[in-house]
Amino acid sequence: MGKFAFIIHPLSAKDVSRKFAFTKNWPDKYVESALKYIPPFTVSHITGIESPLAKSEGWFIACPLTSRQMVEMPEAYVMKKIIKAAKMAEKLGAKVVGLGAFTSIVGDAGLTIAKNVNIAVTTGNSYTVATALEGTRQAARQMGIDLERAGVTVLGATGSIGAACAQILAREVRYLTLVARHEVKLEKLAGQILQSTGLAVKVTANTKAALKSADIVIAVTSAVDSIIEPEDLKPGAIVCDVARPRNVSRRVAELRNDVLVIEGGVVEVPGAVNFGFNFGFPPGTSYACMAETMILSLEQRYDNFSLGRDLTVKQVETINKLAHKHGFKLAGFRSFERALTGEEIDRIKTNAAAKLDIKERVFV
């Protein structure tokens, strides 16, 4: 039987109440102050994962720091705490440990952690890329958007997930815009894409301008706060929000019934899985990054995977094949913690068409 662990952490102070209900009404600063003194701990034992070919069990291990703390506190302190969590996974008998949310971003994206433990380490980013792109392709078909002719924008394009998404999309689209803060890194990535695919992509650090003209957005920045607001998007736009915490403001769902926002990387896990912990998903489903760790354990492939800032297209293709082999698949569309039906997507499509029709009549 395969054995794995996955390190989680509260995205915000409010998430702490999922495990410790008594903190529900505490001010954020009190919660974050308390977290500094709590060592990593086992959250739950994960059972019931069973593919047609193998079985696996695992553990959720908490690294008790919020996203903001991981960004703002000294890197050495944060890394030490993550390494302690990974060593706990090793003691439990896990053969591979996955790094969830900001634990995969701090420092060098898992490389240092891998050097400090005697088990395999992965960020789960390769399967996150595969599922985000698969979900985007499906959403485009349902919204009647021709992906090849659409204006596609990747936010956070110089990160490991964003860069891999960009490299794969460059094979499939004609109009690709890459957005990130560091223009030198953007230019380097654009040059690599031109050399490997022949596509000349646009690059910019101006997020708002790039969003205005985008038909499809892949959002995967490591921003702590939301960066996409209702006024940023054109009617009929699709946003695949891969980031945690989310890049898309909840106000988009409240005010824009003509755009489709989907969560990236939500998958069905084979078997009768019991996570033993409620992280806000329906039973039997998980984030793709979690699923990658499960897939590697089912395959008993206990070597480091998806580490560092440079994912390869081959890694994405490899983990996607293994996912299909073991029965993992997309869990439909979700948006802001709830499932989206085909009828709802049709309404979004109709609302977008109506708004575009009004605009055309105004400017005639």
Q: Specify the pLDDT at position 357.
A: 66
The CA-based dihedral angle spanning residues 44, 60, 72, 261, taken in that order and rounded to the nearest 10 degrees: -100
Q: Specify the pLDDT at position 201.
A: 97
Q: Specify the pLDDT at position 23.
A: 87
Q: Specify the pLDDT at position 18.
A: 76
Query: In 101-180, which ranges are E strands?
Result: 120-122, 151-155, 175-179
Residue length of the chain: 364
For 83-101, letters b (16+ CB in 10 Å) and e give bebbbbbeebebbbbbbbb
Map residue 175 onto helix, strand or coil. strand
Element housing 183 (H / E): helix 183-197
Q: Specify the pLDDT at position 359.
A: 56
Separation of alpha carbons 132 and 337, rounded Å: 16
Q: Specify the pLDDT at position 20.
A: 82
- Is residue 283 exposed (0-12), middle (13-18) or buried (19+ Cβ within 10 Å)? exposed
Q: Specify the pLDDT at position 339.
A: 85
Please identify every stretch of the chain with a pLDDT value under 70, giving residue numbers as ranges.
Answer: 357-364
Q: Specify the pLDDT at position 360.
A: 52
| Per-residue model confidence as pLDDT tens digits over 148-185 | 999 999 999 999 999 999 999 999 999 999 999 988 99
Q: Specify the pLDDT at position 183.
A: 87
Q: What are the φ/ψ torsions at residue 261 (nearest 5 degrees)?
A: -110, 120
